[in-house]
Amino acid sequence: MTKARRILVTSALPYINGVKHLGNLAGSMLPADVYSRMMRLMGHEVTYICATDEHGTPAELAAQAAGISVQEYCDEQYEIQRKAGEGFNLAFDWFGRTSRAANREATQHFAQALEANGLIEERTSKQVYSVDDGRFLPDRYVEGTCPTCGFEKARGDQCDNCGRLLDPVDLIDPYSSVSGSKNIEIRETNHLYLLQAKMQDRIREWVNSKGKNWPNLAVSIANKWLDEGLIDRAITRDLSWGIDVTDANGNPRPGFEDKVFYVWFDAPIGYISSTQEWAEATGGDWEALWRTDKGADETEYVQFMGKDNVAFHTVSFPVTMLGSNEPWKTVDKLKAFNWVTWYGGKFSTSNKRGVFMDQALSLLPADYWRWYLIANAPEGSDAAFTWEGFQSAVNSDLANVLGNFVNRITKYTASKFDGQLPGAGTPGDAEAWMVAELKERLPRLVEYYEAMEFRKAAAETRAIWAAGNEYLTKAEPWVKYKTDVDAAAVGVRTGLNLAALFGIIAQPIIPNAAAKILDALGIPEEHRNMPKDMSDAGIAALLDALPHGAPITPPDVLFQKIEDSQVEEWTEQFGGGDQA
């Protein structure tokens, strides 16, 4: 028997300002949830941690626009995001907040450890000040023309066109993206700098040792930053909302009373602090997950994120962890995703283009969206959401292949076998064919999940469901019932056991529908895990696992098909088609 593994899973922290759209969901939180569920079904000990990322300028500006304090704004938005996560059945073990005390203490601790190791120094730098806004502008709130490629909408920290890391003072014709004002001055201000350049060789060595477990997308982004040469980055900002900058004694650092730590310094530390909160609330052992001197070298750490977050997780956060010279657990497997686009363009709230998490749940249950987004995960390239593709996936995969199979076999049991699983008859050629199919496909399904290849995992799941439909075509229990009830009973019994298996393998992606299937078949919670014996004998036993005579209750229709009229209505409401 394979030893259970201890796995720590984190997904990129959703920013606090507003409900996330389907692309955000598909690029981090949903695949992390699906992976966590599958690993649990395989008997592993999984801790899935996430949190809201609450500091920085966007939260300040949104609160100002709403006429409330930043704390009030973040409190409201946290509840909205927590409920959206619950609505999508995201099975976080803990959903924390970076504004809580645990993250403040952890961030200040890391800063002091880095400074003690000679990796932080105070520097006077030139930064962009917007006279009309009356504030220094953080990197992403300065836009202008990229000095490298000439792209006219480059952000102050990075050009989205050429990918070059930038300093906002280098932008040509800079302006405030807050107000659009070009009344810009370059002023001097003091900040703490993380001396990343000193860590260049150590981070390169670390990436080379870890990168074999990362997709090409993540490795190429990390190497691009390293090849360009790591630069020292300011980790403080001239803001009021954030984590206070303190000295080694925990007192306000002189000259930094009106500054806070940069959100991208404290946000990844939120993985650790949120795990500490989880441990305090549940009695769990956070050190066994994060401290290699406390057993974390036996933990597998898996991160999920969109491609825009890769550089911070493969360079900046590792600089923080490794530079502390403390025994922190760094990531083992990193899964990076491209974008989910809306008909090839970007999601846009103002232009009514795209569906956001709360809106999606008002249209259809979570399982419909979960299936489509995983089956079309943006792994090798960007993946465009279209209403037509969504309709096709739901109607074909869920309604026709899975739903129709469960409906047919349970209703036939109710009408011909008094709603009880039949025990008569001997398996024959059709059952042997099904055993061979499962012997090939089930291990492959597990391999895809282990490799975090979600499109392939969804496709293999569907292929197993489709094989079940082909089995019923071969077994023909409704034909055999006319002349040989025992022969028909074999097909019905096998079909019902297949329905149970289909429910089990559906649990990571469509947990609600899977539960309905397993409830209808009377499967106890302790028997809803992935099968471990995938030999011929093990799979044959799997196809006769349900107790003979067990009551079977046909579930309600699992999936309603999406009608053309609904697609037309949603296209009008949310955009799509020629609105791209």
Q: Kindly report the backbone phi and psi dihedral angles of residue 83, in degrees, each rounded to the nearest multiple of 5, phi listed first.
A: -70, -35
Which residues are annotated binding-site positions for Zn(2+)?
146, 149, 159, 162
Q: What is the CATH number of the domain that holds 483?
A: 1.10.730.10
Burial 215-251 (b: 16+ CB within 10 A, else e): bebbbebbeebbeeebebbbbbbbbebbbbbbeeeee
Render each residue's pLDDT in the chain as its tens digit; 580 residues: 468 999 999 999 999 988 899 999 999 999 999 999 999 999 999 999 999 999 998 898 899 889 999 999 999 999 999 999 999 999 999 999 999 999 999 999 999 999 999 999 999 988 899 999 888 887 878 999 999 999 999 988 889 899 888 888 889 999 998 889 999 999 999 999 999 999 999 999 999 999 988 999 999 999 999 999 999 999 999 998 999 999 988 899 999 999 999 999 999 999 999 999 999 999 999 999 999 999 999 999 999 999 999 999 999 999 999 999 999 999 999 999 999 999 888 876 556 678 999 999 999 999 999 999 999 999 999 999 999 999 999 999 999 999 999 999 999 999 999 999 999 999 999 999 999 999 999 999 999 999 999 999 999 999 999 999 999 999 999 999 999 999 999 999 999 999 999 999 999 999 999 999 999 999 999 999 999 999 999 999 999 999 999 999 999 999 999 999 999 999 998 877 654 4
Asked whether residue 460 is assigned to any structural domain, the reply reads: yes
| In a domain? residue 510 | yes
Query: Is the distance from CB of 480 to CB of 488 less than 8 angstroms?
Result: yes
Q: Which residues are annotated as a binding site?
A: 146, 149, 159, 162, 349
Is 151 domain-assigned? no
Both tokens of residue 225?
A: 């930053």
Question: Taking the C-alpha atoms of 199, 201, 204 and 205 in order, what is their torsion angle to the nearest 10 degrees?
Answer: -110
Beta bridge partners of 335: 304
Helices 511-520 & 485-506 angle (0-180, nearest 10):
150
Binding residues for ATP: 349
Evaluate whether residue 323 is within a structural domain. Answer: no
**How far apart, in whole angstroms, are the C-alpha atoms of residue 32 and residue 578?**
33
> Is 524 part of a structural domain of the chain?
yes
Does 161 map to a domain?
A: no
Residue 537: give the domain boundaries: 383-542
- Beta strand pairing call for 94-97 and 135-136: unpaired
Beta strands at 260-261 and 299-306: parallel, antiparallel or unpaired: unpaired
DSSP 195: -
Residue 477 belongs to some domain of the structure: yes
Amino acid (1-letter code) at residue 343: Y
Residues 6+ apart with CB under 8 A from 83: none
Is residue 501 a part of any domain in this protein?
yes
**Domains held by the chain: number:** 1
pTM: 0.93
